[in-house]
């Protein structure tokens, strides 16, 4: 058993946005590690199917909870159900999110509000709901950020703004909560195989949509999630996932003008 599996064995873990993509793979790998899972998502039919698949593999049956992170009270209910079922809560992974993209002139204030309601306020709702129990357990909170929180590309302003906000949130609360024995990990992936690029600007999932990115640029979900869980188990402050993500972050730190030049080139091609 690896150190990551040892850490998560018998831990109670709540995952938001657990019905597909990265959330689904988090559930699969955590179940193999022996974690007790509370899976929260809006798409309950997918959630129930995932629960049955995990149970059929004789890895214990997760608790499924219908939950919309944009609705006040849903996260508190999910935590209460988790406590009734498992008796404690050790780890929370605020994974729910989607991307609103497009040029400024084609977006509205409502587009930006909708993006922040899920990606930022949904994370805050999760943190506030789980904090009392995670503090008791001296456990972990993981926030699903993005390398878009480091470098913003033209045509992605709502999504990038939301991820910049999450990085600021993580940077602020990590030292605040350290004194409580609680560790926060910001997960900042680059391009990972997931469903985010099959979700439109209104949050609707299109299962038949093709991923516009070339396959060579996209890290497999399984590999990415292994790295994410290792970072959470170790209590890392932030983990950058994917090689291209690490390059982008390094450039943003030490040679930001290169990223700006790339952004101008992308913007010029889009407008031509």
- Residue 49 CA, chain-centre distance (Å), reads 21
**CB-based contacts of 223, cutoff 8 Å, min separation 6:** none
* CA dihedral sign, ordered 84, 27, 91, 115: negative
Q: Assign residue 175 a region: left if phi > 0, alpha if psi is -120 to 50, beta otherwise? A: alpha
159 is catalytic: yes
Structure tokens at 27: 């559930």
Look at residues 161, 170, 140 and name the one whose alpha carbon lies nearest to residue 14.
140
State the catalytic residue, choosing from 7, 98, 159, 164. Answer: 159
Catalytic residues: 159
């Amino acid at each position: 058993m690896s150190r990551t599996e040892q850490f998560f064995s018998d831990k109670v873990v709540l995952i938001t946005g657990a019905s597909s993509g990265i959330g689904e793979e988090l559930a699969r790998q955590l179940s193999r590690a022996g974690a007790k899972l509370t899976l929260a998502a809006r798409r309950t039919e997918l959630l129930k199917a995932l629960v049955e698949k995990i149970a059929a593999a004789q890895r214990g049956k997760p608790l499924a909870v219908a939950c919309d992170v944009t609705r006040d009270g849903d996260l508190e209910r999910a935590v209460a159900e988790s406590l009734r079922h498992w008796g404690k809560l050790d780890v929370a992974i605020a994974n729910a999110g989607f991307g609103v993209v497009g040029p400024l002139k084609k977006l509205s204030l409502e587009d930006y509000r909708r993006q922040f309601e899920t990606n930022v306020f949904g994370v805050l709702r999760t943190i506030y709901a789980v904090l009392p129990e995670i503090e008791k357990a001296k456990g972990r909170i993981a926030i699903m950020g993005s390398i878009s929180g480091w470098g913003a590309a033209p045509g992605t302003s709502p999504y990038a703004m939301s991820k910049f906000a999450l990085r600021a949130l993580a940077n602020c609360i990590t030292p605040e909560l350290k004194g409580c024995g609680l560790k926060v990990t910001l997960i900042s992936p680059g391009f990972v195989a997931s469903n985010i690029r099959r979700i439109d600007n209104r949050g609707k999932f299109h299962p038949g949509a093709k991923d516009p990115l070339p396959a060579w640029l996209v890290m497999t979900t399984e590999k990415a999630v292994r790295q994410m869980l290792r970072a959470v188990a170790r209590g890392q402050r932030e983990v950058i996932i994917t090689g291209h993500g690490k390059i982008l972050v390094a450039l943003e730190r030490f040679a930001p003008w290169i990223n700006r030049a790339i952004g101008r080139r992308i913007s010029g091609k889009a407008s031509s």
